[in-house]
Amino acid sequence: MFRLGTTIRAEITTRAPQVQYVLPRRSTPAFHLSLEEPRSPVEQESAIRQAIDVFQKQKARDDETQAWYILARALLAEGKTVAAKEAMQNAPALAAKSQNPEVRWRTAIAAAPIETSKKGPVPTAAGIPPRKELAAVIAKSRALGNRIVELDARLALAKIEMKSAQTAEGRGHLTAIEADAEARGYIFVARKAAIARG
């Protein structure tokens, strides 16, 4: 059974004890896995895999899309870069079919750190896919007044800059993101920007 609230909370009842996991509602800013529940990425991974199975059976494509990229984030947090990239491959195809632009935007935002997670500096060329996609998300979400998506996309882009040779530019962007997020009341995003800035 699925019900929409602050989050999408799915409950699976079997002979085993009830398993409960949390996935983000499309309109909530707190879609970041680490703050959804005080559980480790390993625990989240198991729960999210169960969610994916349920969403596939229910043909809940938008929810399945979100579950795939949240799984990819959990795997990346565990240090399983290859597995994270494999999981992330499932999200874009599903997102492309979504009528909800925020699902497509969130998928691009989630994909960026995974696509640039290889060791060593990220190329500085502005044409690499994650940068171009994030720039498009920033422009479109800003035009539609979706400030939280805009801030999250800017944060993802600034993190890529910090990993590349554009550290000074990245720090400047992170400072601006922190200020903008605080002004709009998005304290979680502001905190993440401050941490990324170091």
Q: Report the alpha-carbon distance of residue 160 to residue 174 in Å, rounded.
A: 11
Q: Report the alpha-carbon distance of residue 179 to residue 185 in Å, rounded.
A: 10
Nearest residue to 33 (alpha-carbon basis) of 60, 67, 61: 67
What 3-state DSSP class applies to 3? strand
Cβ burial of 3 (10 Å; 0-12, 13-18, 19+) is: exposed
Per-residue pLDDT of the chain (198 residues; tens, 9 = 90+): 333 333 333 333 233 333 334 444 443 333 344 434 556 777 888 889 999 999 999 999 999 999 999 999 889 888 899 999 999 999 999 999 999 999 999 999 999 988 887 655 555 545 467 889 999 999 999 999 999 999 999 999 999 988 887 889 999 999 999 999 999 999 999 999 999 998
In the prediction, which pLDDT does 123 show? 56
In the prediction, which pLDDT does 22 show? 45
Question: Structure tokens of 144?
Answer: 């539609």
CATH 1.25.40 domain residues, the chain: 1-118
In the prediction, which pLDDT does 191 show? 96
Exposure pattern of 158-168 as b/e (b: 16+ CB <10 Å)? bbbbbbbebee
CATH topology of domain 1-118: 1.25.40
